[in-house]
Amino acid sequence: MADPRKLYIRTYGCQMNVYDSERMAEAMGGAGYVETDSPDDADMILLNTCHIREKAAEKVYSELGRFKDLKAARPDLKIGVAGCVAQAEGEEIMRRQPMVDLVVGPQSYHRLPEMEAKAGQGSKALDTDFPEEDKFARLKGRGKAKRGPTAFLTVQEGCDKFCAFCVVPYTRGAEVSRPVAQVLDEARDLVERGVREVTLLGQNVNAYHGDGPGGDWTLARLIRELAKLDGLDRIRFTTSHPNDMDDDLIAAHGDCDKLMPYLHLPVQSGSDRVLKRMARKHTAEQYIRLIERIRAARPDILISGDFIVGFPGETEDDFADTMALVEEVRYGQCYSFKYSARPGTPAAEREPVDPVVASDRLTRLQALLTRQQREVQDAMVGKEVGVLFERKGRLPGQMVGKSDHLHAVHVTGDVAVGDLARVRITESAPNSLAGALA
């Protein structure tokens, strides 16, 4: 019997790309491939790309350049580019890097086996369509191998918001929600394979409206149904838009025990003038009042967010409004970036802020956010939290897991991967907590 062919996938970007890479590997498993951790012995290399960060396309070309010697030594090696850069620049990738055999967008990766077969016959394969068929329905069920205790589960894709800085509506398409039955079936399968926590994914996950018994289901209704699954102990979701945090989803944070007290809710700026230029369609005041309602439903919830500084037209007064919003909200975690233009978006045509000024603002914002994160972590010392253990630590007998609030927690004690235990926090470090079994 011939040895299986080997597939190497390198994943960039968000959790949805991690999920997509898993499903690509499963799809190619049906074509006789097994995953490898090294490109050196791979029969197929697949780069699953992200278009969000600065110079994303150039980084892909740079990465492809590293594989030229491998391709020259082994002409049968297949090289593919998938994901959002593939969607945005498919034909250009083929033109600039002739060694690339196939390019597939994020809505078409269920067609990978057919594309690989075409490439095996010496033809180039390009598919960046937004197909009518449901890729999730076309994908075979996940294999039955044992899984780690946590997993991502995509329930929604695409975005209709068209923020002025964002490429997602152009690379992922319009908002589409998976049917309820499909999501529940995949969740049950994950639980059967050892998963105890799922993170529901979507570019705009709280815009979920999936077809289910009785009509459209909201994200809150889906969460409550998932909470009924025996063996599924924790539920999270990301990423959300403030305009889609409805009353029922806010209430779910208070009445659904399995929904963890952590919410990533990007605002991007604290200036109404900048928010309008970003086409965010909400104000800073509306965002702050929303946070108050969420905390009223779940007082111990940890709020995370995203900020862009140096957006075209941002003044020092606008930035001061952002700092004031951060002071009022008090974030437990946050991601902040200096604005970088994405070709094809409205903001890319506007006059940029001086890079030196933007960098200075980012430094000041990150200092404030870091202080707030440390204050929130330090306040955990002495408290008892639930921890789902995911891996062994670096020290003998040490285990590492995630708390209810998504903090990394280190413990030395009699626990194993997959255990969910109560831990009393004894120490706060810059990016993690330490504790003892309660």
* 3-state DSSP assignment of residue 63: helix
Taking residue 378's Cβ as centre, other Cβ atoms within 10 Å add up to 12
159 is in an annotated binding site: yes
256 is in an annotated binding site: no
Q: Which helix (H) or strand (E) holds 153?
A: strand 150-154
Are 287 and 242 in contact by the 8 Å Cβ rule? The answer is: yes
Rounded distance between C-alpha atoms, residue 99 and residue 80, angstroms:
9
Torsion of CA 259, 332, 417, 185, to 10 degrees: 30
215: left (phi over 0), alpha (psi -120 to 50) or beta: left
334 is in an annotated binding site: no
DSSP 216-251: EEEHHHHHHHHTTSTT--EEEEE---GGG--HHHHH
* 3-state DSSP assignment of residue 266: coil
Peptide bond into 239 cis (omega under 30): yes
Q: What angle is formed at CA 414 by the lines to CA 412 and CA 420, rounded to 5 degrees? A: 95
User: Shortest CA distance to 224 belongs to which of 203, 200, 195?
Assistant: 200
Could you tell me how far CA 401 lies from the centroid of its own chain?
A: 19
Q: What angle in degrees, to the nearest 10, is found between the helix axes of 56-65 and 84-96?
A: 50
DSSP 75-140: TT-EEEEEEHHHHHHHHHHHHH-TT--EEE-TT-GGGHHHHHHHHHTT--EEE----SS-HHHHSP
Residue type at position 87: Q
Backbone angles phi, psi at 177, to 5 degrees: -110, 140
Q: Which tokens in the block code for residue 72?
A: 């020259």
* 3-state DSSP assignment of residue 165: coil
What are the distances in angstroms from CA 422 to CA 178, 227, 239, 404? 34, 20, 27, 10
Binding residues for [4Fe-4S] cluster: 14, 50, 84, 159, 163, 166
Binding residues: 14, 50, 84, 159, 163, 166
